[in-house]
Structure 1
Amino acid sequence: MDLTILAFFLGFLIDLILGDPHSIPHPVCFIGKLISSSEKMLRTYFPKTKRGELIAGGFLCVVVISISGFLPFLCLYFSGLLHPMVRLILETVMCYQIFATKSLRVESMKVYKELDKEDLTKARYQLSMIVGRDTKSLTEEGIIKAAVETVAENTSDGIIAPMLYLALGGPVLGFIYKAINTMDSMVAYKNERYLYFGRVAARLDDVANFIPSRVSALFMILASGICKIYYAIFSSNMEGKIYSMKRAVKTFLKYRYQHASPNSAQTEAVCAGALGIQLAGDAYYHGVLHKKEFIGDSVRKIQKNDIKRANVLLYVSAFLCMGVCLIVKIGML
């Protein structure tokens, strides 16, 4: 097997086993620090006008993307000169660091566990670790919806999209995608500070996720059908009656653009339809109410177990995508 393909596969497996150890600094943290320091420097050089902030934000993207791609390229190049196995080990670690399958499940399940204990205060706190919205006043239903939404959305942003970019261009393209995604999460806010400075980063993220979000939605639709068949055959409980591939397709086609972002509602719509629940709606960010359309039809009331179900869709989608990527990459040898 080609060593690049092997690194890609091994990185995925290691992520499934280890997740994201909090004791080890993650490259995304360094990307975040690069964004913060670059923003601070650029703001001192460019005027605080609409045009000045737009140009500064553009330079931010150039700087962060260049460094985030060039450093992995250098590391892989020189490790390859030492020995192919050294490069394999380094490339495997890089791929592992780009995946986030287990960490998304672990962090979202922390919310579930506190809900299961009926401790809404701790559930809100755990939720605040994985979402950008205000969580202090959320009801139990609001907490569950937010957790399911972040699993659904990050199935694309955190798993499928990085997987596709890794498959296309290895860790170099993978880290470039991570840089774009991190800039979007840090500076692409529609507030006074970032309305113009973060606009280029926001548009770049929209472009980078346009195809992956739709591919993710298709894999999640397939996952909903697989889950329905599996639970109908191997489970004696009601799980098989909850998942619906037909409803996932219908909801996807109806609600996939019910979001300010052209990409975020793609997987959210599939998840809502697959589980027969309603997601989204108004939310507070930094004390400001943001009006949002609902996504999905409320076939049944949302339950805390829907966090588990969303994670099942996440894992099945991830395995499907990995399988397709491996088949394509091996077929191209």
Structure 2
Amino acid sequence: MIYHMIAFGLGFCLDLLLGDPYWLPHPIRVIGNFIGILEKRMNKKECSEKYLVRAGIGMVALVLLTVLMVTALLLILAYRIHPVAGVILEMIMTYQILATKCLKVESMKVYNCLKENDLIAARHAVSMIVGRDTGRLDETGVAKAAIETVAENTSDGVIAPMLYTALGGPVLGFFYKAVNTMDSMVGYKNERYLHFGRAAAKFDDICNYIPSRISAYLMIAGTHFLGKEYDGKHAYYIYKRDRYHHASPNSAQTEAVCAGALSIQLAGDAWYFGKLVKKPFIGDALRPVEYEDIRRANRLLYATAFLCEGICLLVMGLLFFI
């Protein structure tokens, strides 16, 4: 437990310091490439719906078993060599599982473009972090897209993987990241992935059900550490009212908190793969959305991440001493 605590804490610090430099090989890219290879071989248009659903289940099982086995084997070998080697490897793995700084860096690229009144560059920057079509977005639409991504990925990219890693080390942490990566790659309700990606999308919903709700309450708590720009009471009110205003049972949980905390309105209709998708609004338009809200959303992200990290270490410490 003490080795796990040290690696867990240092991994979080490394994420805050380094983020995800493009030059550094990342295991999530390897997992993504593996998913891409399997998808091309198993997702065949000419096959029946039943086959595609089964093939999707098979892909999920194969990816998760591979990730579990490889991660567990590497950690076992490292700890057998020496506890210090085990801690170092676990620390690096924990760092690679979390995405706090990466989320901030990528969203702040959008912020900087909007600040410089470069809408074309802002659309390109936000297209790197969202799944929707960005060519039609105006300045407000681009800002909203970036804010929604920060809010949603506070759970998916930071709190959920942190909770899984705290619970089961990098083995469970990478298990979650593999689930999330599969959903982001094939979990779409379009012609290509409707049947094949169903298992990945449903399993992602299951794995995120509890973490997304924990993330929401941690985010509400985080508003109380950030000053007058954030309204904790309104965040809780909008969370209770709008947390299911999304096709996913989990995505609107933290989006609702963020919208309420910043007193803005998020979501609404959006274009995906050339088709307009009708979506309900989240939050109340008490004031217009502005690009500074991207920076505010990132502050809320960091407050939530620090709260979760502190609580996880406290719980692990109590278990160790008990």
TM-score, with length taken from structure 2: 0.98
Give the structure 1 partner of residue 295 of structure 2: 308
Give the structure 2 partner of residue 272 of structure 1: 259
Tell me how far apart the structure 2 counterparts of residues 98 and 311 of structure 1 sit (CA, whole Å): 19
What is the CA deviation profile of residues 288-307 of structure 1, one whole-angstrom value per residue up to 9, with x for unaligned ones? 11110000001111111000
Contact kept, 8 Å, 2:270 with 2:276, in 1: the verdict is yes
Give the structure 2 partner of residue 18 of structure 1: 18
Deviation at 1:43, TM superposition (A): 3.6
Give the structure 2 partner of residue 41 of structure 1: 41
Deviation at 1:218, TM superposition (A): 0.2
Q: Could you tell me which amino acid in structure 1 is paired with residue 239 of structure 2?
A: F
Q: Secondary structure at the match of 2:117?
A: coil
Q: Secondary structure at the match of 1:226?
A: coil
Tell me how far apart the structure 2 counterparts of residues 33 and 117 of structure 1 sit (CA, whole Å): 35
Tell me how far apart the structure 2 counterparts of residues 82 and 247 of structure 1 sit (CA, whole Å): 52
Contact kept, 8 Å, 1:47 with 1:53, in 2: the verdict is no
Q: Secondary structure at the match of 1:23?
A: coil
Moved more, 81-90 or 254-263: 81-90
TM-score, with length taken from structure 1: 0.95
Give the structure 2 partner of residue 208 of structure 1: 207
What is the CA deviation profile of residues 31-52 of structure 1, one whole-angstrom value per residue up to 9, with x for unaligned ones? 01111111223246x9711110
Q: How many residues align?
A: 320
Give the structure 2 partner of residue 286 of structure 1: 273
Q: Secondary structure at the match of 1:227?
A: coil
Contact kept, 8 Å, 2:43 with 2:196, in 1: the verdict is no
Give the structure 1 partner of residue 65 of structure 2: 66
Q: Secondary structure at the match of 2:276?
A: strand
Aligned alpha-carbon RMSD (Å): 1.1
Tell me how far apart the structure 2 counterparts of residues 226 and 297 of structure 1 sit (CA, whole Å): 22
Gaps of 5+ in 2: none
Give the structure 2 partner of residue 246 of structure 1: 233
Q: Secondary structure at the match of 2:264?
A: coil
Asked whether 1:139 is paired with 2:138, we answer yes
Q: Could you tell me which amino acid in structure 2 is paired with residue 23 of structure 1?
A: W
Give the structure 2 partner of residue 223 of structure 1: 222
Work out the percentage of aligned pairs sharing the same amino acid. 55
Equivalent residue for 1:330, pick from 314, 317, 320: 317
Give the structure 1 partner of residue 153 of structure 2: 154
Tell me how far apart the structure 2 counterparts of residues 191 and 208 of structure 1 sit (CA, whole Å): 22
What is the CA deviation profile of residues 114-164 of structure 1, one whole-angstrom value per residue up to 9, with x for unaligned ones? 101000000100001101111111000000100000000000000000000
Q: Could you tell me which amino acid in structure 2 is paired with residue 67 of structure 1?
A: T
What is the CA deviation profile of residues 45-79 of structure 1, one whole-angstrom value per residue up to 9, with x for unaligned ones? x9711110000000000000011111010000011
